[in-house]
Chain A
Amino acid sequence: MQVVIIDFGSGNLKSLYTSLERAKKDLNNINIIVSNNSIDIKNSDKVILPGVGTYSDCKKGLESITGLIETLEEVVIGKRRPFLGICVGMQLMSTFGLENSKTQGLGWIPGKVVPIDPSSKVATGLTKPKIPHMGWNEVNLNSSHDIFNGISKNSYFYFVHSFHFICDLKDNILATVDYHQSLVSVVGKENMLGTQFHPEKSQLLGLKFLSNFLKWNP
């Protein structure tokens, strides 16, 4: 099986690559590649879209590679191959985002990406509300999706983000996280998954999550 990490000039692909290499240790015949080449992507069985920085820059990055979005749509929507978006890669699955300016997303999971409201009432933690939401936070699982196999309720994952995904459909919310308000932390729909947290930075549980993705057969 081949898994492609989409390289569109965003983020630290190296840590994602090495953590996938580690996560696949007990699995057979998995080849991880980093590419933005449409043939590589079409030849891959699973697709991972990372992303750090801003929504608009990441979208521009995707658009700057000729045919990349079309290829992703063909493979993920057309051929329904398993897909994982991470951080801004997950946010890009939305209809649109409001970071910097209103930017159209991939439109795969209906909803919008908006700033975390620092003044919202449901304050948790000891500090005053800080943006970005940065650090280890408990993920509240809303579903028994295969991606959570071996991950107990209220496990900690590493987050760093200032914007969050508001899903139009409750069914697409697989997990949330509490930070002054309830935020979506994992989205899912059919063959697609997205995480607001960084599994590649979340130590053993993060590796478990990635290993579950490698094993996942939607």
Chain B
Amino acid sequence: MLTIRIIPCLDVKNGRVVKGINFIDLKDAGDPLEQAKFYDKSGADELCFLDITASNEGREILFDVVSKTAENCFMPLTVGGGVRNIEDIRKLLLSGADKVSINTAAVDNPLFVKQAAEKFGSQCIVVAVDPKKVSANRYEIFTHGGRNPTGIEAIQWAKQMASYGAGEILLTSMDRDGTNDGYDINLTRAVSDSVPVPVVASGGVGGPSHMLEGILEGHASAVLAASIFHFGKYTISEVKEYLRDAGVPVRL
């Protein structure tokens, strides 16, 4: 049976991890490779790097980080943040990323997603969708970490992105991100049930029960989390055991 994927996400800035594990005795907690190896050993199903570097010089370092990680971790690696054009995608894939996540560039030019999927295949094109609730039944897409409104309705947008060839939707609730209150379940389910491709739930996880909700009620195919792993609140295997005991297929 296909298992639900548990995906830890690391924030990387100028080639250094700024949000990652900081509870165990890593020689250098800022080294993305050490963090990746730790998660590889812990049984993570995929790994996600979110590059939050602003400068171009800093971005060049990212390719090196991705490359070193891919040489040492034989698991799928998704890289997102600042992906603007076909050349960015090509460089990330050549460095060893398996999937590339596109966010603002898709909003600026939706056809970019189509071009990217045609060029590299849907299997490696993820579209990051960051909605905020704007009224009782309406979610809209925001960019730049939830600061910039676009007026685009989230569910239609996710459907459009899937029809343009996105192989996966990484759905982060801007209302829940960083709250530890759990995923926005209504949003997750609305998107999951509307698109034919897998949806990764993100934003707001405080514990394994939130992940269970995301899967059972939100219909997510994968659950992404950052802080609960980084601070050692839960390990990957604790989360997986919890989900298994609740009847969710996981890889243990």
Contacts and interface: CB of A to CB of B under 8 A. Distances in A.
Q: How many of chain A's residues touch chain B, expressed as a range?
A: 35 or more
B192 A125 contact: no
A127 B189 CA distance: 10
A15 B70 contact: yes
Contact of B197 (A132, A136, A207): A132
Interface string B100-114: 000000000000000
Nearest to B124: A52
Contacts of A18: 70-71, 74, 96
B68 to A, nearest CB: 10
A65 interface: no
Interface stretch (A37-45, A155-163, A166-174): A155-163
B93 interface: yes
B186 interface: no
A15 B221 CA distance: 25
A196 interface: no
A156 B252 CA distance: 9
Interface string B142-181: 0000000000000000000000000110000000000000
B219 interface: yes
Contacts of B193: 128
A185 B73 CA distance: 23
Interface stretch (A101-109, A143-151, A198-206): A198-206
B74 A137 contact: no
B75 A201 contact: yes
A97 B216 CA distance: 35
A117 interface: no
A59 to B, nearest CB: 14
B40 interface: yes
Contacts of A52: 120-121, 123-124
A206 B123 contact: no
B98 A135 contact: no
A124 B3 CA distance: 10
B1 interface: yes
A138 B249 CA distance: 10
Interface in B23-61: 40, 45
A177 B216 CA distance: 23
B4 A12 contact: no
A110 interface: no
Nearest to B252: A156
B196 interface: yes
A130 B93 contact: no
A67 interface: no
A118 to B, nearest CB: 7
B93 A136 contact: no
A103 to B, nearest CB: 15
A125 B96 contact: no
B122 A162 contact: yes
Contact of A201 (B67, B74, B93, B94): B74
Contacts of B207: none
Contacts of B96: 12, 14-15, 18
A1 interface: no
Contacts of B97: 12
Contact of A130 (B197, B249, B251): B197
Given A52-B121, A124-B2, A135-B45, A118 B74 contact: no
Interface string A108-127: 00000000001000001111
Contacts of A54: 121
A134 B123 contact: yes
18 contacts: A14-B67, A14-B95, A15-B74, A52-B121, A52-B123, A125-B1, A127-B215, A128-B219, A130-B221, A132-B123, A135-B2, A135-B4, A135-B221, A136-B3, A137-B2, A201-B75, A204-B74, A207-B74
**Ranked 5 nearest A-B pairs via Cβ:** A53-B121, A136-B251, A137-B2, A156-B251, A130-B198
